[in-house]
Structure formats: C-alpha cells, structure tokens
Copies of this chain bind each other. A is one copy, B any other.
Amino acid sequence: MTSLDALAEALGPRNILTTPEDMAPYAVDWRGSYRGTPQAVLRPGTAAEVAAALRIATQAGLAVVPAGGRTGLAGGAVVREAGPPAVVLSLERLNRIRDVDARDFSVVAEAGCIIQQVQQAAVAVDRLFPIAWGAQGSAQIGGMLSTNAGGIRTIRWGNARDLVLGLEVALPDGRVLHDLRRVRKDNSGYALRHLFIGAEGTLGIITAAALRLVPPLRAVETAFVAVPSPDAALALLSRVYGAGADVVAFELISHSCMAVVARYAPQIRLPLPVESPWFVMLELAASHAAVPVRAMLEAALFAADEAGEITDGVLAENEAQRLAFWRIREDYPEFARAAGPAIATDTAVPVSAVPEFLARAEAALAARWPEGRMLALGHAGDGNIHLSLRAPEGMSREDWAARAGGADMVVNEIAVELGGSFSAEHGIGSLKLHVMQALKDPLALELMRGIKGLLDPRGLMNPGKVLPGN
C-alpha cells in the first residue's frame, strides 16, 4: 500500500484530493505570488485524523504543509517546489465550535473555524471575540494562531497569542499534545503553547484552541481626524488613552493613501478633504451604554485641537457612517492594488519611534527611488505601520520589482535599527526568509533551529518556511 493509499484509508477517499483540478486552489496563494503542487491535499475531519495523517505522511518521508483560509501574505500555506515531496493538509473540515461559555468568557474553536464564525458564536452569548481584520470572512483560527495575527483591535486586546488560553496540537509523529484548558493562570513548567503560536506549522499542527472572550462593546464612537504630523498623532494617542474609555483602534493614514482612495475608490465618500499630510482614524468604546463615550471623545478632540494635535475632524454620526469610515481602512488593500504595483513591508517599531521611523524611511526611499511614492497606513498605536513604495504610473509589477526590489530591505533595516521588527503581523512564510537570514540575531536563529530539530527532527513540517536553510 502506498502512503497515499494509507492516507485515503485513514481519512476516507473523499478527503484526499489528487487531481490537478481538485488541488488547484491549494497550489497557489490568493495573490498568485506563490505556487507549488502537492502530491495530494488531505482534508481530515478531526484532531485524531490530523494526527493519523501526520504519522502516515512523516513515516513515508512526505512533508506536510498545513493550510487554513489561505489568506496569508507570506506564502506560508503553499508547497515549496524546491522542497521534498509534500502534501497539503487543509484544516477546513475541523470547523466546529466545541464550546462557548459566557460566564467563563471563553470559546473553544477548532482550527478550521472562520474568524467571523467565532465572532458570531461570541455574539450569540453576548460576548466579544476581539480579533478582527479585513480577511476575517475567510481566515481561519489555525492560520490566525500560526501567524500570531494582529489586526485592528490589537491596541486594546493584543495579538492572537494574547487571547490563547489553551491549545491542542498534533505533533509530527502523530501524537497529540492536549493542552486545551480554559484556565487563565498556569505556571506548571515551560510555556509550550507559545512555541506553536506563530510557528506557521513548522513544529506541529494546531487543531483547536481555547480563546478568551471579552465583554461586548455597548458604546462605540469613531473619529476621523486630520493631524499635522506623526508626532502630533502620538500626542493625540497619549491624550485619548486618558480620555476615560477604551482605545480600541488607532490607525494612522498618510496623505498618499487617502489620495489613492480618492482616485481609485470614487464610490467612497471621504470624511475629510485630502488636504492634510496625515490622518488618524480612532475608536473609543465602553462596555456599558451609559458611559458617555461620545462626550469623552469630543472633549479629547477639543483639547487636541487647542493643543494643535489635530487640524480637522469628524465623528461618525451613526453606525452606517462608522462602517463607511471603516471601509476606507479595511478595503484599502483592494484600492491600493488598483493603483498599481508596490513593494510592501510589515514592520513595527516602538510606538515612540514611529515619527523617526517614518521620516527616515521616507528620506531613504526618496533618495534611492525618487520616482516611487511612499504610502503609509497602519496600526500606529502598536507601532505597526505598513509602508509600501508604489511604482510610477503605468509600470508593470515585474519592472518595478526589478527596479525597487530592495526597497523592503531598506525599510526593514531602519525598523531593526530603531529596535523594531521586520515582521509585525504577517509572518515569515517563504516571503521573508532572506530577511530572517540577514537581520535576525544569529543566536536567536541558532536556538530556533535547535527547537525545530527537537520537535521536527526529520524537517518535514512545512519545510522551507520561517527558518532560512531549513
């Protein structure tokens, strides 16, 4: 019996895909940047089946590439052509909410649950699952954890890692680490779970997670303001932290980004004229409707105006307007694609270093690629600004990559010099192996390789991802 036959027997023949047509969606990432054809696509339905599939595949020397909603930006879920023969293991059928408990403020979700599905399960018991980002209608819990995703609510509730109470993980040899507890305090030995979070499936496959829920937001107020500079934006941030309600979003948007929206998304009604060098979209919220969030936000913005931190601003008057504000932020990646090719980055720096980071990056990029336009938009409250360098009009993706392909490294180096990270919330995947090699502390890389060798001694878990040379 071949290993594929054994896998078919373990999972049922319908749950192993082997024709090029069936496998096509799993052989490429959603942007078409990464391609790799697996030997088969496995679709186990339970954690035990994931474990069985891992045991069979790794015994046969087959590499295993786990896949979730496949919305990643770093190619983590696509087979590398240069690697060993591999199967894709899709978690899509592990899509059960195993438990949701209002009194406990927790949910236990399998890895294939869509983020939105978990959000809805929380709403059904009057709770909030606070992770949110543009791809939440497709992205899955397993991918969210394996990339330690961030998103727009990180400023208040942290990254995906910070919401994990417990994990269930299938190891390469087919054993399952059962640590799916909902306990909030546990100091019984080393924090194994944190190794698997953010590891992009290179150490094992997360099959389910116990996750924290929080009280629902009963009062939310959103403002879109013009600020004269990133320094002013940070002063505004400190101010609203003390406004009395929770700061649940604080997004910085450059003039150039707003100009992209104005030109390529004419259906969007802009809240403010595109006349300021920078804009901030911020949201305050409270868990009780009686909290005067609107008055708090107005008072903070009034004082910010007096202090010269903002030059203009508008508050969403109702939920429809609030959602319209959010469309600018959440659909921005689509608008930007229409505006032509760009070299993108995903850096973070200490919050206080954001102004220096932006100034240095802008100067360095302008000096080397004066024909490009720097776009900056992101989670300023986390120090995580997504910078990109856009091509002059009409230039092809290939030409711009050839010309400005080093722009990401220029930005990454500045971020690292300022004590920051070259990979804030998207992960490493295949995309950033060269950056890991160039900019990651060699001692940290050595320790990571040791951990990889310990947990996956044959190197069959998502090979060629995260660690350069693996």
Q: Is the CB of B448 within 8 A of A451?
A: no
- Tell yes or no: A102 within 8 A of B by CB: yes
| A291 in contact (CB, < 8 A) | yes
A455–B106 alpha-carbon span in the complex (Å): 34
Chain A interface, DSSP helix/strand/loop, else mixed: loop
Cα–Cα, bound, A296→B288 (Å) = 9
A451 CB contacts on chain B under 8 angstroms: 190, 451, 454
A426:B187 contact, CB within 8 angstroms: yes
Q: Mark A174-187, 1 if CB is under 8 A from B, else 0.
A: 01011101111111
Size range of the chain A interface in the assembly: 35 or more
Q: Which of A34-42, A79-87, A415-423 contacts B (4 or more CB under 8 A)?
A: A415-423
Are A423 and B290 interface neighbours, CB within 8 A? Answer: no
Contact of A195 among B187, B191, B243, B286 (CB under 8 A): B191
Known interface pairs A244-B287, A350-B104, A351-B104. Does A187 touch B296 (Cβ–Cβ under 8 Å)?
Answer: no
On whether the beta carbons of A419 and B242 are closer than 8 Å, the reply is no
**Protomer copies:** 2
Residues of B within 8 A of A440 (CB): 188-189
Q: Are B291 and A244 in contact (CB under 8 A)?
A: yes
Known: A147-B187, A188-B436. A103 touches B154 (CB 8 A): no
Q: A189-B440, A191-B198, A291-B291 are in contact. Are A351 and B215 (CB under 8 A)?
A: no
A421-B238 in contact (CB<8A) = no
> Which of the residues B198, B286, B420, B441 comes within 8 Å of A177, measured between beta carbons?
B441
Report Cα–Cα, A450/B425, bound state, in Å.
29
Q: List 18 A-B contacts (CB under 8 A).
A: A103-B351, A104-B352, A158-B162, A177-B441, A181-B419, A183-B419, A183-B420, A188-B421, A188-B436, A188-B440, A189-B448, A189-B466, A189-B467, A191-B197, A216-B242, A244-B290, A244-B291, A288-B296
Show the binding face of A for B, using Cβ within 8 Å.
101-106, 147-148, 150, 154, 158-159, 161-162, 171, 175, 177-179, 181-192, 194-195, 197-199, 203, 215-216, 218, 234, 238, 241-245, 286-288, 290-291, 296, 299, 348-353, 379, 382-384, 419-428, 432, 436, 440-441, 443-445, 447-448, 450-451, 454-455, 466-467
